[in-house]
Amino acid sequence: MLTSYHVKCPHSGCDWSGILLPCRDTDSRGSSVRSTFIAVFECPKCQRRWKAQAIGDDAVTLPMEQHLPYSDILRRVLMYPTRGVAGLVDDLLTVCGEHGLQLDWRAERCRVCLPGGAWEEMIDVRLRKSVFRAILARIAALCNAQAPNSVSPYGGQGELSAGANPPVQFRVTFANTPAEQRLELMTGREKGTGVESRSNRAEQAAATDGGGR
C-alpha cells in the first residue's frame, strides 16, 4: 500500500506543495517490507513529474535530472504530436539527429543520452501502447523503404537515414509484438559530414527503388 507524503513541486515556475500520493507506476515492489524506495510524483498544478526517495514517512526530492536542452523538445515531439505518427517519427529523428542522441525506449520507459553522456530517463513521457506500436511500425517501414526487406514488422535491426543537409544515419534495433515493444536508436554521423551535396536525395531514392523485389 502506498502512503501519501507531504511534498513540494521542485519544478521551476511552480510552487505547489501539499499532500500527494506517489504515481501508480512508482516501482513500489517490496515497499511494504522496506520503507525506502524511489517514488514518482506528479504535480497536480503543473502536471510535471519528479522523483523522490521515500524514507519512512518522508519523501526527499532527488536532484532533478540535468536539464538538457533537448529534453523539452523531445517531450513536446512525443507528447503533443501535431502531424500524426509519421510526423512524430520525422521530428523524433530530427531531434535525435541534431543532438546525436541515443534512445532506449521500452514500453513505459524512455531513456535518452548524449554520446558519452549519462542516460536520462524521461519519466514524464508516457504514450499509449497503440501509439508506441504505431511509431515502431513507422520505423520498420522507413528501414524497409531504404533497404527493402531489411527488417520484419515484428522486429529486427536496421539502418535508416533521415534529414538532409547532411543526412544523418541511424541504427535501430526494435521489437514490435503484442508482448514486447522496444526501440533502441543510435545516431551516427559517419555519413555525410557536410562534404556531400545536399541534392543526393533523389539519387538515394532511385537507388532504393532499384533494390529488392
| Interface residue list for Zn ion (CB under 5 A) | 9, 11, 14, 16, 43, 45-46
**Residue whose CB is less far from Zn ion, 71 or 150:** 71
Q: Give the chain's end-to-end CA distance (angstroms, integer).
A: 57
Could you tell me the smallest distance in angstroms from the CB atom of residue 8 to Zn ion? Answer: 9
Q: Is residue 105 within a helix (H) or strand (E), and if so which, with residue range?
A: strand 102-106
**Residue whose CB is less far from Zn ion, 21 or 85:** 21
Could you tell me the smallest distance in angstroms from the CB atom of residue 7 to Zn ion? Answer: 10
> For residue 29, which amino acid is it?
R
**Residue whose CB is less far from Zn ion, 16 or 154:** 16
**Residue whose CB is less far from Zn ion, 21 or 46:** 46
Could you tell me the smallest distance in angstroms from the CB atom of residue 17 to Zn ion? Answer: 9
Q: How far apart are CA 183 and CA 174, in angstroms?
A: 4
Could you tell me the smallest distance in angstroms from the CB atom of residue 71 to Zn ion? Answer: 16
Could you tell me the smallest distance in angstroms from the CB atom of residue 79 to Zn ion? Answer: 16
Q: How far apart are CA 144 and CA 146, in angstroms?
A: 5
**Non-local CB neighbours of 110 within 8 Å, separated by 6+ positions:** 78, 103, 104, 121, 122, 125
**Residue whose CB is less far from Zn ion, 126 or 133:** 126
- How would you class 111 by CB atoms within 10 Å of its CB: exposed for 0-12, middle for 13-18, buried for 19 or more? middle
Output DSSP code: residue 124: T
**Residue whose CB is less far from Zn ion, 72 or 209:** 72
Could you tell me the smallest distance in angstroms from the CB atom of residue 43 to Zn ion? Answer: 3
Q: How far apart are CA 74 and CA 45, in angstroms?
A: 22
